[in-house]
Structure 1
């Protein structure tokens, strides 16, 4: 699991072409909601180390976040082979995140 949002985001076409399980996490390092979501995310991420995690710094004019219509932080988007299978906005419970991981796993 990544721990810091990075400003360099891959282009949408690259994300759409990814194979396997991917978690896109949009937010900002200074965002209180994002900080509050980290402990439950870490708890839910356990056992899912094979999921590719992109922790993308978002904001006005950031094309990847806009292409996914991200409006609030953090937004977690779970992708399987480039297709969205689950989305959580401002999650605070590990159980909610675990449920999304289950959808990602297809179980």
Structure 2
């Protein structure tokens, strides 16, 4: 699990070209909802220590978040081979996050 929001975001093309399972998380370090969700996300990710987790600092005018139509934080996009499989907005339960993780880490 990645603990730091990246200020420099990858392009949508780079995200779409990802091979295998990945989670793209949009949020901000100062966001209360984002901070509250971190223990839940960490708990769910504990069973997937090698899973790619791309944590993006989002905000007004940030193209990657807009390309995914992100409007609330945190938003987690669960991807497999560059395709969105699941999405959670302001998750309130680590079990729900774990369920989405299983969707992208299981067989195709």
Q: TM-score range by the shorter chain?
A: over 0.9
Q: Summarize deviations over 1:51-73 as a string: whole Å, max 9, x none.
A: 11110000011000000000000
Partner of 1:80: 80
Partner of 2:21: 21
Q: Summarize deviations over 1:15-35 as a string: whole Å, max 9, x none.
A: 100101110000000000000
SS in 2 for 1:23: strand
Q: Summarize deviations over 1:33-59 as a string: whole Å, max 9, x none.
A: 000000010000012122111100000
Partner of 2:104: 104
Once superposed, what is the RMSD of the aligned Cα atoms?
A: 0.9
2 CA distance for matches of 1:99 and 1:54? 19
Partner of 2:56: 56
Unaligned segments of structure 1, at least 5 residues: none
- 1:92 maps to 2:97: no
2 CA distance for matches of 1:8 and 1:53? 15
2 CA distance for matches of 1:63 and 1:7? 12
Unaligned segments of structure 2, at least 5 residues: none
